[in-house]
Chain A
Amino acid sequence: MDDKLVIAGREYGSRLLVGTGKYKDFDETARALDASGCEIVTVAIRRVNLGQDPNTPNLLSALPKGRYTLLPNSAGCYSADDAIRTLRLARELLDDHRLVKLEVLGDPGNLYPNVRETLKAAEVLVGEGFDVMVYTSDDPIIARELEDIGCCAIMPLASLIGSGMGILNPWNLQLIIEQSRVPVLVDAGVGTASDAAIAMELGCDGVLMNTAIAAARDPVRMARAMKMGVEAGREAYLAGRMPKRFYSATPSSPSEGVIASHKS
């Protein structure tokens, strides 16, 4: 079956994108990524810890070389300028790597995106030749503006980052999915496999998650569950669900030929 996710001209077999934060150690990170079947993994860009032992294990060397497409993010940035600088550093760090996840936050408590700064940063980064997958609110008007700027994927939140509250506004997500000509991926808020399945059933092109896997009691097992959830949701979406029939039951078994003890 040929059902590929295409982002910035490149095809991916998996529609699950996974973050590399919050695992117990790099070994658990690697095993969870493997179990998830993902092909794109997010990484963050941070200051080198000065004075640390140069032999301290490093995330990039802990991941199997060349297996994953890296998606560096601007997580933790609260202004367009900081996000732009961070992603330029990522591009240099990863040898002219252009695919990035733009994220500009607006509040340290709820981590809600600052869409005004996000729009500014998107404009600059697209102009510099970056392929920008953009984290944003579930506002369809902003989503359209980000697409018009030239972002290669729109990634609305399902609920707050790291909250695990699931898909809080499927109606808005559907508005964004229906209008978009670039892939739409739910980023943030997924808590368990059914949330991922619901996102995919709505018609999302993919799901990006980190905490839902890393904070599970058994992250490797949850990674596998998420893989199946995303696949099940995608299949259900492609299969086309039956229409809902409100207050109107229809039997699955034939109505004729039922034995009856007191037929006249």
Chain B
Amino acid sequence: MTLNIYVNGEARSFDGVSSVHDLLVALGLTGQRIAVECNGEIVPRSRHAEQTLAEGDRLEVVVAVGGG
């Protein structure tokens, strides 16, 4: 089943993705120092596996970069 969601503002389609954890695997981001927000709410790392995704969800996946 295809899931259509927005990741970092981009419309993306995924097959076989049902949780935040699945999404991070699909994006090749497992094990990276990142943080995830779904529809404006933080998804704590401990809940990546259980947080299910729904059609149209808006996700932000962020990282620390150089800045002042």
Contacts and interface: CB of A to CB of B under 8 A. Distances in A.
Interface residues of B, number: 27
B66 A93 contact: no
A116 interface: no
Contact of A89 (B7, B10, B35, B65): B35
Interface in B34-67: 34-37, 40, 42, 44-45, 60-67
B68 interface: yes
Given A46-B62, A47-B61, A85-B40, A90 B67 contact: no
A92 B67 contact: no
Given A46-B62, A50-B8, A92-B45, A75 B68 contact: yes
Contacts of B64: 43-45, 58-60, 70, 72, 90, 93-94
Contacts of B10: 50
B63 A48 contact: yes
Most chain B CB neighbours (cut-off 10 Å) among A85, A90, A208, A210: A85
In this complex, the interface size class of chain A, counting residues with CB under 8 Å from chain B, is 35 or more
A46 B9 CA distance: 12
A209 B68 contact: yes
Nearest to A70: B64
B33 A75 contact: no
Nearest to A161: B68
A47 B8 contact: yes
A73 B64 CA distance: 10
Interface in A23-74: 23, 29, 42-48, 50, 54, 58-61, 70, 72-73
Nearest to A212: B68
B17 to A, nearest CB: 14
A20 interface: yes
Interface in A1-32: 19-23, 29
A47 B66 CA distance: 13
B32 interface: yes
A29 B63 CA distance: 17
Nearest to A17: B68
A88 interface: yes
Nearest to A43: B64
A36 to B, nearest CB: 13
Nearest to B9: A47
A156 to B, nearest CB: 15
A85 to B, nearest CB: 7
Contacts of B8: 47-48, 50
Interface of A: 19-23, 29, 42-48, 50, 54, 58-61, 70, 72-73, 75, 85-86, 88-94, 161, 208-211
Which are the 3 A-B pairs with shortest beta-carbon distances? A44-B67, A19-B68, A210-B68
22 contacts: A20-B68, A22-B68, A43-B65, A43-B67, A44-B65, A44-B67, A44-B68, A45-B62, A45-B63, A46-B63, A47-B9, A50-B8, A50-B10, A50-B27, A50-B61, A58-B32, A60-B33, A85-B60, A86-B62, A89-B42, A89-B62, A91-B42
